[in-house]
Amino acid sequence: MAVNTLNSYGRISITDECIAVVAGNTARECYGVVKMVNRNFFGAIAELFNKENKSKGVIVDTRGDKIYIDLHVMMKYGVSIPAVAQSLKAAVKYDVEKFTGMIVATVNVNVIGVPLPEDI
């Protein structure tokens, strides 16, 4: 799917993959996020072959003119998970809305794990 909009410049179409890349880059820059984690089969296969996946750990669903985003992250040991999750939601929502000009209805943060300090 894609998000479509029409303005004085013409028709603009932004794919879900492009939105996922923007959301993933923003999420990786947030304090407390160690890495993004694949939660789908194709992402896991791509990771096996060392193919770089910029949208790793991000699932985007567009319905009408609204965008729904699911993030799958590993957080840093010792951070406040609720505080980092709130900050992550706000940052991703802001950047995707600024990028697309569309409304982000929800950003769900799924914490997959917290690696111990010796595992990092």
Residue 102: which CATH number? 3.30.70.1350
**Separation CA 51–CA 75 (nearest Å):** 23
What does the pLDDT read at residue 72?
Answer: 95
Residue 81 is given by DSSP the state H
What does the pLDDT read at residue 117?
Answer: 76
Cβ(69)–Cβ(95) under 8 Å? Answer: no
What does the pLDDT read at residue 47?
Answer: 61
More confident residue, 1 or 30: 30
What is the extent of the structural domain holding 42? 2-119
How many structural domains comprise the chain?
Answer: 1
More confident residue, 45 or 91: 91
Lowest mean pLDDT among 3-12, 22-31, 98-107: 3-12
Tokens of 48: 């096996």
User: Where residue 74 falls among pLDDT bands split at 50, 70, 90?
Assistant: very high
What does the pLDDT read at residue 18?
Answer: 93
